[in-house]
Amino acid sequence: MRIALVINTESGSVGGATPEAIRERIVAAGIAALGEADRGASLPARIAAAVAEPGIDAVVVAGGDGTVACAAAALVGRETPLGILPLGTMNLLARDLGLPLDLDGAIANLAQGVPRRIDVGDVNGRIFVINSVLGMAARVARHREAHRARRAVRTLLRWALGMLRHLGRYPRLTVTGLIDGTARRLRGRLMAVVVGDYVEQPGHVLLRAPIDAGQLTLYVLANLSVWRSLRLAVGFALGDWRRLPDVERLPIGDLSIASRRRALLVMNDGEVLLIPTPLHYRIRRQALTVIVPRAETNRRFAEETAAA
């Protein structure tokens, strides 16, 4: 097996191993990993260079959800599969796919796994693999990025406390949604367009299934006060949150969102973007190929998810 490998050392943890050690473990598993010509380039440029490598069996990224999303956008519509070494904090797509979360298991999956096509979302030509969020969460994430450059603990603590104190004061987002051809006014603190849908399973927060059935789901949270946020968090832990009174869930095929604003802050897979309105959401069915465990593992994972 011959892969183009990109390791993002800024995505949080790298599994307790240096990039050199990760490469050595990949080679020890019988996989030939191409070296990068310019490790100092931006992550999108490094991934683009990996995708352009001739004669490779896969593009493999080591990092968190942002790294995976960047690679996915570059590989959508291509035959080359994406291999994931989930070395971030959340590893949401890896969990959805039932991938091993330990480094050695993830490396073994590269050699022993099989390709699987999954869906991705598209908003105005921008790809997301998990969700696209509007409203308060996108604004909070923008503030977080602004403070991230100053890594002082006191600054971050002040930011977090300020977010909690003003949680209920953020203005509601009011837009007009065209949902499968039907116009509707949407108003809430947070709106999320999810590839597939979330399942309610105790101990598994924001687990999605299915992710290859050509489905989007719109969630609208009317209120996000401190109390309601705590109640939602408890619902996540218990696996019983979709029926809370402040949560509206709408399965959709396609969605357009119009606003009086010329552009809206949108958070795609954790990346905050300013996208001109109207926003046009659509599903790109089975447009991304990912290396996943063999059918036996996937079948058990699917059965566990269905049972929940």
Answer with the one of 112, 138, 160 that is the final residue of a domain.
112
Residue 94 belongs to a domain: yes
- Do residue 47 and residue 132 come from a single domain? no
Q: How far apart are CA 77 and CA 73, in angstroms?
A: 9
Residue 305 belongs to a domain: no
Residue 220 belongs to a domain: yes
Higher pLDDT, 138 or 183: 183
CB environment 150-173: b (16+ within 10 A), e (fewer): eeeeeeeeebeeeeeeebeebeeb
């050199």: which residue's tokens? 20
- Do residue 7 and residue 37 come from a single domain? yes
Residue 164 belongs to a domain: yes
- Do residue 107 and residue 151 come from a single domain? no
Angle separating helix axes 153-165 and 136-148, nearest 10 degrees: 160
Residue 121 belongs to a domain: no
- Do residue 242 and residue 107 come from a single domain? no
Strands (E), the chain: 2-7, 32-34, 58-63, 82-86, 114-123, 126-128, 131-135, 173-179, 182-188, 190-195, 216-221, 247-252, 254-258, 263-268, 271-276, 279-292
Alpha helices by DSSP H, listed for 29-152, are 43-51, 65-75, 92-96, 103-112, 136-148
pLDDT, position 243:
79
pLDDT, position 12:
47
- Do residue 42 and residue 186 come from a single domain? no
pLDDT, position 302:
59
Q: How far apart are CA 179 and CA 294, in angstroms?
A: 37
| Torsion sign, CA atoms 229, 233, 234, 236 | positive
- Do residue 101 and residue 177 come from a single domain? no
- Do residue 102 and residue 160 come from a single domain? no
**DSSP-derived 3-state class of residue 138:** helix
pLDDT, position 234:
77
- Do residue 79 and residue 32 come from a single domain? yes
- Do residue 60 and residue 165 come from a single domain? no
CATH number at residue 143: 2.60.200.40
| Torsion sign, CA atoms 111, 12, 234, 190 | negative
Residue 165 belongs to a domain: yes
Domain that holds residue 174: 126-286
| Torsion sign, CA atoms 233, 235, 236, 242 | negative
For residue 72, the number of C-alpha atoms closer than 13 Å in the C-beta half-sphere is: 30
Q: What tens digit of pLDDT does each residue of 198-217 get?
A: 988 777 778 898 899 999 99
- Do residue 28 and residue 134 come from a single domain? no
- Do residue 162 and residue 13 come from a single domain? no
Residue 26 belongs to a domain: yes
Share of the chain above pLDDT 90, in %: 59
Higher pLDDT, 169 or 191: 191
Q: What tens digit of pLDDT does each residue of 112-154 get?
A: 999 999 999 999 999 999 999 998 766 565 544 444 444 444 5
Answer with the one of 79, 112, 145 that is the final residue of a domain.
112
- Do residue 273 and residue 189 come from a single domain? yes
Selection from 48, 37, 69, 54 nearest residue 2 by Cα? 54
Any idea what the Cα angle at residue 38 is, between residues 33 and 43, rounded to 5°?
85
Higher pLDDT, 54 or 298: 54
Q: Which two tokens stand for residue 87?
A: 């070395």
Residue 294 belongs to a domain: no
pLDDT, position 152:
47
pLDDT, position 205:
74
Q: How far apart are CA 290 and CA 110, in angstroms?
A: 10
- The number of distinct structural domains making up the chain is 2
Answer with the one of 112, 139, 166 that is the final residue of a domain.
112
In this prediction, residues 240-251 reach a mean pLDDT of: 85
CATH number at residue 67: 3.40.50.10330
Q: How far is CA 209 from CA 86, 142, 176, 201, 267, in A?
A: 19, 28, 28, 11, 21
